[in-house]
Amino acid sequence: MLYFVGILRREDANAILKGKRVAVIGSEPSAIQFVPKLVQDPSIEVVQFHPRPVVVETAFSGVKWMFAHIPEVMHIYCNRILL
């Protein structure tokens, strides 16, 4: 059987955040539980960061040619990645 050897963290319910700047990395289920409570206090500034996934695809010579000669194709392709 495998055992977890990392560090478990729980929020301190008694922490005083009034007037503080709070950084939240990620917007997963744990963040969804406490961020709405934080933003209710106007003196707390919340900065949230969630990185986008990196999409790696190989570009074939035909695709490279289309990107170089037909700009709209690249715009459509880039917009598809960002959605």
Domain presence at residue 37: yes
* Average pLDDT score, the chain: 77
Domain presence at residue 15: no
Its domain, for residue 36, covers: 21-82
Residue 39: predicted pLDDT: 81
Domain presence at residue 10: no
Domain presence at residue 70: yes
In sequence order, what are the beta bridge partners of 47?
A: 23
Phi, psi of 65 (to 5 degrees): -65, -45
What's the pLDDT tens digit per position in 32-43? 777 888 888 888
Total domains present in the chain: 1
26: left (phi over 0), alpha (psi -120 to 50) or beta: left
| Range 8-17 average pLDDT | 76
Model confidence, pTM = 0.40
pLDDT-derived band at 46, boundaries 50, 70, 90: confident
Domain presence at residue 54: yes
Instruction: Specify the residue for token string 């194709």.
Output: 73
Domain presence at residue 56: yes
Nearest to 18 by CA among 47, 40, 49, 33: 40
77/60 Cα distance (integer angstroms):
14
Domain presence at residue 14: no
